Structure 1
């Protein structure tokens, strides 16, 4: 029957488009993850290059393929890749400017939607917490304090949202654990510093008592 043959061809075409979207979305996801890895290692130029390539794939290939097809654009591989991309761009902006970029910032506006941006912000909390832990090993109190302030700001900003049960709610609930970890890191650094000062003071007192200083 001609009508059924037409439907079959339409379904095959949709399946082919879906496979391309899934494959190229994986490429965007990989580029974004690599960019985050590079940012942790201080390789900012390589991270910028990866994010530029990811954005090109999204705008030149994926958006045209998903245009008018809500099932491809929202809630699938493409949306997941864009959330990872948003996380990378937000992390890059934080490291560069010391603050969380707004959804209207370059690289985000017109590329990610509201939920993808919010998901990226929440995932960014994990990255900035990781930088704080590494900074603590270098005894970089200022970097740890900046990270804690950033997570505090994110949590405060998101308190006004009514996240219903779902992925965003789970990610939002995870922020408190990151904040708790940062508080623990801050406490341990202050304790180590206090013990070090106490040890130095005790040493000086002993030397004075023995007439060596």
Structure 2
């Protein structure tokens, strides 16, 4: 029998105490003026940890993680204005971590249907479109972040195809599917 999602999330949260300690140890080694000199050494793992924290919060609450929650996971502040001089989570690391959740959620939509949860893909579709709309509001100059943002529409398309199949097979009511396809923040559109 599969382990319930809340139990798995609670187990995953335990690992963040170890991550907090590693970040604390790292912050002692890096003097305030040297953060960006060495940032490339840890930015990938920090982005991955941001992604994991975002996924945990989504699985627990079906909403996006807040800055305060992320700071709680890491016990370090997020630099929203790019003017902090102490050790921090950069805004870029936070945004890259959050955008990484879309691929995992599109896979979750497929697996949810397999396990008989036909309503979850509709909720995932609505969430992904809202996330896409939020990223559309940003002026993305970072090449990596821009590429990951562009990939969101393919994850949305995958989930929309699942919702369409469920609707055609009458496994969900068409009103639910309609709600998912019109609940776009910022007019998220998919392209073929």
TM-score bin, normalised by smaller chain: 0.7 to 0.9
Q: Where do 4+ consecutive residues of structure 1 move more than 3 Å?
A: 38-42
Aligned to 1:63: 27
1:116 pairs with one of 76, 80, 93: 93
- Between the two proteins, the alignment pairs up a number of residues equal to 154
Deviation by residue 1:164-212 (Cα, 9 ceiling, x = unmatched)? 2511011000000000000011111222337xxxxxxxxxxxxxxxxxx
TM alignment of 1:3-14, pairs within 5 A: none
TM-score (norm: length of structure 1):
0.66
Aligned to 1:104: 68
TM alignment of 1:39-78, pairs within 5 A: 43-58=8-23, 60-67=24-31, 68-69=33-34, 70-73=36-39, 76-78=40-42
The answer to whether structure 1 residue 128 and structure 2 residue 105 are counterparts is yes
2:114 pairs with one of 113, 131, 137: 137
The answer to whether structure 1 residue 173 and structure 2 residue 150 are counterparts is yes
**In 2, Cα distance between equivalents of 1:98 and 1:165:** 28
**In 2, Cα distance between equivalents of 1:99 and 1:150:** 7
Aligned to 1:189: 166
Alpha-carbon contact 1:39-1:92 (below 8 Å) kept: no
TM-score (norm: length of structure 2):
0.72
**In 1, Cα distance between equivalents of 2:170 and 2:21:** 48
Deviation for aligned residue 1:84: 0.6
Q: Which runs of 5+ in 1 are unaligned?
A: 1-37, 195-213
1:162 pairs with one of 116, 139, 145: 139
Of structures 1 and 2, the one scoring higher in RCO (CA 8 A, sep 6+) is: 2
**In 2, Cα distance between equivalents of 1:55 and 1:142:** 36
Deviation by residue 1:37-84 (Cα, 9 ceiling, x = unmatched)? x997962232111222112211x21122223322212xx131111111
Deviation for aligned residue 1:122: 0.5
Aligned to 1:150: 127
**In 2, Cα distance between equivalents of 1:191 and 1:66:** 57
Larger helix percent: 1
Alpha-carbon contact 2:5-2:59 (below 8 Å) kept: no
